Amino acid sequence: MHTPWYWTSTSEPAPLAPLQGDADCDVGIVGGGLAGISAALHLAQRGYRVTVLEAQRIGWGASGRSGAQALPGVAASQQTLRALIGDADARRVWEMSVEALSLMRQQITAHHIDCDLIDGQIHAAIKPRQHRELIAWTEELRKNYGYTSVQMLDHTELREHIDSKRYLSGMLDTNAAHLQPLKYLRGLADAARSAGALIHEHTRATHYSRSAGQLLLHTAHGNLACRHILFAGNAWLGRTVPSLARRIMPVGTYIIATEPLDHALATSLLPKNTAITDINWVLDYFRRSSDHRLLFGGRVSYSGLDPLGTARATRQRMLRVFPQLAQARITHAWGGYVDITMNRAPDFGRLEPDVYYLQGFSGHGIALTGIAGLLAAEAIAGVSERFDVFTRIAHRPFPGGALLRRPLLVLAMLYFRLRDLL
């Protein structure tokens, strides 16, 4: 029940050997998710000797557990980005996020990755206030950013995409998409290995140091000497780099999968196989799988605990959208952590001139992680202009220190939960 459907819907590849003893490379990457593997692929294609250290299996973290909707933008609004880095850089972030979708499709095509890619995603409004927000958002994207793949759907038009009375209207993005994230990641990992990258699973990097001018990644059974390091462990990096851990908060999120539905029922729920996300703060998101299940997510735990009855509570949220699934059995229910930042903007930067990091995707990472890996590879190769747009976003540690930071966040989130009800 607690195993992600993604893991059971495809055969598991043979494990990759842990690092044993000492080794060296040009770039050591910590984290075998989409960001780290994307960087490994782009660096290996440039001729760098790359080694990835993954504490578990490839895709064990957020990249193999996510809602898997590939969207433009970042979790922070464009208005927030303009306040943080100005109009010009906010526009560059937007343009790179749109490029991320093109890059994702290019990689899938170039490396023949079978990952159930389906075009189309809708942000749905539940309340009149949200309907007005979507109208303003659509107009901003079309007029100010020239992003013409979005259009507003009224209630009647929306019902052509979703058989639910819960929603008033929606913003359709034909350039967004959804996919099977674990298949996508494994395809990228195969491509990275074919390009020459080494990947070691079950190899946790405990810390890094510098000795005689050389960077070292330390593990329980060996050390990896590097010219450059990239940390891409996100919420799962743990205590490896304490200074990074203070800048993000691991937030639990949960997804359920129904049993395979009758084909007619499955297609009636989402006739055009579009992915859906509402725009509540504590949002619901859902889509159809390739074998006609409904994958439904949305519960979050800012306390960091898995609440009792997660599957039951998430099922109740699903039934508010699709009461016609009252008899459908839930076969999979799983959770994981996403790494949020205080301002919900991604946190990319350098700890030292030759030590880079990518984190803080804040639940918006399927496409963005791919281009983040490309930007890190560009920066390591000496072309850092695009990477440095993101480094100019100011980030603050979560307040309260190790003991109080999470309780303070829980209190702050109560406001937004109440706002969803208004």
Q: Which pLDDT band, with edges at 50, 70 and 90, does 211 fall under?
A: confident
Predicted pLDDT at 5 = 97
Predicted pLDDT at 402 = 53
For residues 392 and 404, the model is more confident at 392
Tens digits of per-residue pLDDT, 184-206?
A: 999 999 999 999 999 999 999 99
Q: What percent of the chain has pLDDT over 90?
A: 81
Report the Cα 169 to chain-centroid distance in Å.
25
Predicted pLDDT at 159 = 97
Predicted pLDDT at 299 = 64
> Which position has the token pair 């607690």?
2
Residue range 114-127: mean pLDDT, rounded: 98
Q: Which pLDDT band, with edges at 50, 70 and 90, does 336 fall under?
A: confident
Q: What ranges do the domains of the chain cover? A: 14-117+179-246+343-402, 118-177+249-340
Give the closest residue to 54 by CA, choosing from 200, 273, 167, 240.
200
Q: Do 145 and 91 form a contact (C-beta atoms < 8 A)? A: yes
Q: Pull the structure tokens for residue 172.
A: 């359709």
CATH T-level assignment (fold) for domain 118-177+249-340: D-Amino Acid Oxidase; Chain A, domain 2 (3.30.9)
Residue range 262-277: mean pLDDT, rounded: 98
Q: Do 393 and 341 form a contact (C-beta atoms < 8 A)? A: no
Q: Do 74 and 364 form a contact (C-beta atoms < 8 A)? A: yes
Q: Which pLDDT band, with edges at 50, 70 and 90, does 416 fall under?
A: very low
For residues 320 and 299, the model is more confident at 320
Question: Is the pLDDT confidence value at 98 over 50?
Answer: yes
Residue range 193-221: mean pLDDT, rounded: 96
Give the closest residue to 115 by CA, choosing from 175, 189, 192.
189
Dihedral angle of Cα 31, 50, 105, 72, to the nearest 10 degrees: 50
Question: Is the pLDDT confidence value at 112 over 60?
Answer: yes
- Report the alpha-carbon distance of residue 188 to residue 182 in Å, rounded: 10
Q: Which pLDDT band, with edges at 50, 70 and 90, does 415 fall under?
A: very low
Give the closest residue to 104 by CA, choosing from 377, 372, 382, 419.
372
- Report the alpha-carbon distance of residue 130 to residue 296 in Å, rounded: 21
For residues 401 and 144, the model is more confident at 144
Q: Which pLDDT band, with edges at 50, 70 and 90, does 413 fall under?
A: very low
Question: Is the pLDDT confidence value at 339 over 90?
Answer: no
Predicted pLDDT at 404 = 43
Residue type, 183: K
Tens digits of per-residue pLDDT, 375-400?
A: 999 999 999 999 999 999 999 887 65
Q: What is the mean pLDDT of the chain?
A: 92
Strands 69-70 and 275-278: unpaired
Highest mean pLDDT among 5-9, 212-216, 335-339: 5-9
Residue range 317-328: mean pLDDT, rounded: 97
Predicted pLDDT at 1 = 53
For residues 377 and 336, the model is more confident at 377
Residue range 10-17: mean pLDDT, rounded: 94
Q: Do 220 and 205 form a contact (C-beta atoms < 8 A)? A: no
Q: Which helix (H) or strand (E) holds 255?
A: strand 249-258
Residue type, 331: T
Q: Do 398 and 407 form a contact (C-beta atoms < 8 A)? A: no
Question: Is the pLDDT confidence value at 208 over 90?
Answer: yes
Give the closest residue to 181 by CA, choosing from 64, 35, 73, 333.
64
Predicted pLDDT at 399 = 65
Predicted pLDDT at 213 = 83
CATH architecture of 14-117+179-246+343-402: 3-Layer(bba) Sandwich (3.50)
Residue range 160-173: mean pLDDT, rounded: 98
Q: Which pLDDT band, with edges at 50, 70 and 90, does 414 fall under?
A: very low
Q: Which pLDDT band, with edges at 50, 70 and 90, does 403 fall under?
A: very low
What are the beta bridge partners of residue 230? Answer: 29, 356
Report the Cα 114 to chain-centroid distance in Å.
19
